[in-house]
Chains A and B, each alone.
Chain A
Amino acid sequence: DGGITQSPKYLFRKEGQNVTLSCEQNLNHDAMYWYRQDPGQGLRLIYYSQIVNDFQKGDIAEGYSVSREKKESFPLTVTSAQKNPTAFYLCASSARANYGYTFGSGTRLTVV
């Protein structure tokens, strides 16, 4: 079955450490997105990519970095510059810009 796979499901980060969240899709979608979800708030866009080797900053890109070397993969790195990284991170993809998104099952990141 086609879909988006995020890993790991749970991730713990120590102070000063960089961590990478994986996102893989087999839907042949061009566009991929990373969102952050905090309690009581709407999803906020971190980065998005419309095509391989190209990505754009979203509303809250500071402290995060991404790459898009393959159509299927869009990993997110949470760097030590992100001071409040504890949140639920969601990866999504879409076939076209005005189509609904397919989301992964999310990664819950906690700072320890």
Chain B
Amino acid sequence: EDQVTQSPEALRLQEGESSSLNCSYTVSGLRGLFWYRQDPGKGPEFLFTLYSAGEEKEKERLKATLTKKESFLHITAPKPEDSATYLCAVQPSKSSLGFKTIFGAGTRLFVKA
């Protein structure tokens, strides 16, 4: 069964304390892996797409990496405004629904000043 698991569920950091969020996936072939940021009461905001193992993408203090089994979202020197829930999503290359995207439950990040 296709599955996406994010860890930890919640992460509390001090401002400037770098860390990583994990997204482990089990799918029958990977079409793409996506990271989103979601603020409370709002819709998710697209961050990155990764398509193949070894690929990396960066945006400001965020860097996403991909292996054959997992993806990491590295946060360098976070600021309080980075506090949000980060969602990982996977699109299997083989799915009865054709273009199904499977979302993880998310990691809630809190950055304290």
**Chain A interface residues toward B at CB < 8 A:** 4, 6, 31, 35, 40-45, 48, 50, 56, 58, 90, 92, 97-106, 108
Interface residues on B, range: 20 to 34
Q: Is B102 an interface residue (CB 8 A)?
A: yes
Chain B nearest CB from A71 CB (Å) reads 17
Q: Which residues of A contact B7 (CB under 8 A)?
A: none
| A-B CB contact pairs (8 Å), 9 listed | A42-B87, A42-B105, A44-B103, A48-B97, A97-B91, A98-B31, A98-B91, A100-B34, A101-B36
Q: Which residues of B contact A (CB under 8 A)?
A: 4, 31-32, 34, 36, 41-46, 48-49, 51, 87, 89, 91, 97-106
Total contacts A-B at CB 8 Å: 66
Given contacts A42-B102, A43-B87, contact A98 B43 (CB under 8 A): no
CB neighbours (8 Å) of B31 from chain A are 97-98
The CA-CA distance from A48 to B31 in the complex, in Å, is 18
Contact B32 A98 (CB under 8 A): yes
Q: Which single residue of chain B is at the shortest CB-CB distance from A108?
A: B41
- With beta carbons under 8 angstroms apart, the residue of B42, B46, B99, B103 that contacts A97 is B99
Are B45 and A45 closer than 8 Å at their CB atoms?
no
